Amino acid sequence: MTDTLTPVLTKNWDADRAWTLASYEQGGGYGALKKALKMAQDDVVTAVKDSGLRGRGGAGFPTGMKWGFIPQDNPNPKYLVVNADESEPGTCKDIPLMMASPHTLVEGVIISSYAIRANTAFIYVRGEVLHVIRRLQAAVEEAYKAGHLGKNIHGSGYDLDLIVHAGAGAYICGEETALLDSLEGRRGQPRLRPPFPAVAGLYASPTVINNVESIASVPSIIEHGADWFASMGTEKSKGYVIYSLSGHVKTPGQFEAPLGITLRELIDLGGGMREGHELKFWTPGGSSTPILTAEHLDIPLDYEAVGAAGSMLGTRALQIFDETTCVVRAVLRWTEFYKHESCGKCTPCREGTWWLVQTLNALEHGQGQESDLDLLLDQCENILGRSFCALGDGATSPITSSIEYFRDEYVAHLTHGGCPFDPAASTLFARTLGSTPGAGTDKGQVGVTA
Amino acid sequence: MSENTGIDEKTYGELREIADRYPHARSGLLPMLHLVQSAEGSVTPEGIEACAEILGISAAEVSGVATFYTMYKRRTVGDYHVGVCTNTLCAVMGGDQIFAELKDHLGVGNDETTEDGKITLEHVECNAACDFAPVVMVNWEFMDNQTPESAKQLVDDLRSGTEVSSTRGARLCTWREAERVLAGFPDGRADEGPAAGPASLVGLELARENGWKAPEK
Query: How much of chain B is helix, strand and coil, in % rounded to 5?
Result: 45, 10, 40
Classify residue B30: in a domain, yes or no.
yes
Classify residue B204: in a domain, yes or no.
no
pLDDT reported for residue A439: 38
Element (H, E) at A229: helix A226-230
| Nearest neighbour of B92 by CB, restricted to A137, A170, A330 | A330
Q: Examine the domain organization and report whether B99 and B40 are in the same domain.
A: no
**B130, B137, B201: best to mutate for the A interface, most A CBs within 10 A:** B130
Average pLDDT over residues A185-197: 97
End-of-domain residue from the set A230, A265, A281: A230
Q: Examine the domain organization and report whether B24 and B84 are in the same domain.
A: no
Chain A residue whose CA is closest to B73: A168
Q: Do A10 and B203 touch (CB under 8 A)?
A: yes
pLDDT reported for residue B5: 65
Classify residue B160: in a domain, yes or no.
yes
Q: Do A253 and B139 touch (CB under 8 A)?
A: no
pLDDT (tens digit per residue) in B6-55: 799 999 999 999 999 999 999 999 999 999 999 999 999 999 999 999 99
| Chain B residues lying within 8 Å of A397, measured CB to CB | none
pTM, to two decimals: 0.96
Q: Examine the domain organization and report whether B141 and B165 are in the same domain.
A: yes
Comparing CA positions, the residue from B89, B101, B90, B86 lying closest to residue B153 is B101
Q: Do A86 and B128 touch (CB under 8 A)?
A: yes
User: A347-364 vs A391-416: helix axis angle to the nearest 10?
Assistant: 20
Q: Examine the domain organization and report whether B139 and B84 are in the same domain.
A: yes
| Band of residue B217 on the pLDDT scale cut at 50, 70, 90 | confident
Asked whether the predicted pLDDT for residue A245 surpasses 60, the reply is yes
Average pLDDT over residues A160-164: 98
**A104, A343, A427: best to mutate for the B interface, most B CBs within 10 A:** A427
Asked whether the predicted pLDDT for residue A412 surpasses 80, the reply is yes
Give CA–CA dist B134/A428, Å, rounded: 8
Q: Do B186 and A14 touch (CB under 8 A)?
A: no
Distance from CA of B3 to the nearest CA of A (A): 24
Distance from CA of A335 to the nearest CA of B (A): 10
Give CA–CA dist B162/A116, Å, rounded: 50
Asked whether the predicted pLDDT for residue A413 surpasses 90, the reply is yes
Q: Do A186 and B65 touch (CB under 8 A)?
A: yes
pLDDT (tens digit per residue) in A250-299: 999 999 999 999 999 999 999 999 999 999 999 999 999 999 999 999 99
Q: Do B147 and A171 touch (CB under 8 A)?
A: no
Distance from CA of B94 to the nearest CA of A (A): 5
Distance from CA of A231 to the nearest CA of B (A): 8
Average pLDDT over residues A170-189: 98
pLDDT > 90 fraction of chain A, expressed in percent and rounded: 95
Distance spanning both ends of chain B, measured CA to CA: 59
| Nearest neighbour of A168 by CB, restricted to B22, B72, B145 | B72
Burial A19-44 (b: 16+ CB within 10 A, else e): bbbebbbeeebbebbeebbebebeeb
- The CATH number of the domain holding residue B112 is 3.40.30.10
Distance from CA of B130 to the nearest CA of A (A): 6
Q: Do A252 and B204 touch (CB under 8 A)?
A: no
**Would you say A2 and A258 are in contact if contact means Cβ atoms under 8 Å apart?**
yes
Number of structural domains in chain A: 2
Burial A186-200 (b: 16+ CB within 10 A, else e): bbbbbbeeeeebbbb
Q: Do A99 and B168 touch (CB under 8 A)?
A: yes
Domain extent at residue A80: 21-230
Number of structural domains in chain B: 2
Q: Do B131 and A432 touch (CB under 8 A)?
A: no
According to DSSP, the β-strands at B136-138 and B141-143 are: antiparallel
Q: Examine the domain organization and report whether A86 and A222 are in the same domain.
A: yes
Distance from CA of A244 to the nearest CA of B (A): 7
| Nearest neighbour of B129 by CB, restricted to A95, A341, A428 | A95
Domain extent at residue B130: 80-174
* CA A188, A190, A196, A199 torsion-angle sign: negative
Q: Examine the domain organization and report whether B169 and B98 are in the same domain.
A: yes
| Chain A residues lying within 8 Å of B184, measured CB to CB | 137, 164, 166
- The CATH number of the domain holding residue A111 is 3.40.50.11540
pLDDT reported for residue A447: 32
Please give the full DSSP string across A66-82, using - where no structure is assigned: HHHTS-TT--SPPEEEE
pLDDT reported for residue A159: 98
| Nearest neighbour of B29 by CB, restricted to A185, A232, A432 | A185
Chain A residue whose CA is closest to B139: A130
Average pLDDT over residues A426-440: 59
Alpha-carbon distances, residue A80 vs A123, A163, A208, B25 (angstroms):
9, 11, 5, 18
**Tell me, what DSSP letter sits at residue B127?**
-
Average pLDDT over residues A223-246: 97
Comparing CA positions, the residue from B90, B99, B33 lying closest to residue B66 is B33
Q: Do A340 and B30 touch (CB under 8 A)?
A: no
| Nearest neighbour of A169 by CB, restricted to B23, B70, B195 | B70
pLDDT reported for residue A431: 62
| Chain B residues lying within 8 Å of A131, measured CB to CB | 141-142, 166, 168-170, 189-190, 193
pLDDT (tens digit per residue) in B63-85: 999 999 999 999 999 999 999 99
**B18, B68, B96: best to mutate for the A interface, most A CBs within 10 A:** B68
Average pLDDT over residues A11-17: 98
Asked whether the predicted pLDDT for residue A446 surpasses 50, the reply is no
Classify residue B90: in a domain, yes or no.
yes
End-of-domain residue from the set A185, A202, A230: A230
Classify residue B210: in a domain, yes or no.
no
Q: Examine the domain organization and report whether A336 and A191 are in the same domain.
A: no
Question: How many contacts does A have with B, using Cβ atoms within 8 A?
Answer: 291
Computed over every residue of chain B, the mean pLDDT equals 96
The three-class DSSP label of residue B98 is helix
- The CATH number of the domain holding residue B18 is 1.10.10
* CA A440, A441, A445, A450 torsion-angle sign: negative
End-of-domain residue from the set A230, A258, A288: A230
Average pLDDT over residues B184-195: 98
Distance from CA of A107 to the nearest CA of B (A): 18
Q: Examine the domain organization and report whether B112 and B170 are in the same domain.
A: yes
pLDDT (tens digit per residue) in B145-173: 999 999 999 999 999 999 999 999 999 99
pLDDT reported for residue B33: 98
pLDDT reported for residue B6: 74
Element (H, E) at A153: none
Asked whether the predicted pLDDT for residue A351 surpasses 70, the reply is yes
| Band of residue B216 on the pLDDT scale cut at 50, 70, 90 | confident
Q: Examine the domain organization and report whether B86 and B126 are in the same domain.
A: yes
Q: Do B131 and A245 touch (CB under 8 A)?
A: yes
Average pLDDT over residues B117-141: 98
pLDDT reported for residue A436: 43
Q: Do A228 and B133 touch (CB under 8 A)?
A: no
Q: Examine the domain organization and report whether B113 and B162 are in the same domain.
A: yes
pLDDT > 70 fraction of chain A, expressed in percent and rounded: 96
| Nearest neighbour of A319 by CB, restricted to B89, B96, B214 | B89
B83 Cβ partners below 8 Å, 6+ apart?
A128, B122, B123, B124, B127, B136, B137, B138, B140
Average pLDDT over residues A40-46: 98
pLDDT reported for residue B4: 57
| Nearest neighbour of B181 by CB, restricted to A6, A100, A130 | A130
Asked whether the predicted pLDDT for residue A437 surpasses 80, the reply is no
pLDDT reported for residue A1: 74
**Would you say A252 and A246 are in contact if contact means Cβ atoms under 8 Å apart?**
yes
Q: Examine the domain organization and report whether B53 and B88 are in the same domain.
A: no
pLDDT (tens digit per residue) in A292-341: 999 999 999 999 999 999 999 999 999 999 999 999 999 999 999 999 99
Nearest 5 degrees, angle CA B51-CA B172-CA A93? 85
| Nearest neighbour of B71 by CB, restricted to A95, A127, A330 | A127
| Nearest neighbour of B196 by CB, restricted to A96, A224, A287 | A96
| Chain B residues lying within 8 Å of A269, measured CB to CB | 202-203, 206
Comparing CA positions, the residue from A73, A83, A86 lying closest to residue A109 is A83
pLDDT reported for residue A235: 95
The three-class DSSP label of residue A62 is strand
Q: Examine the domain organization and report whether A80 and A218 are in the same domain.
A: yes
Average pLDDT over residues A389-413: 97
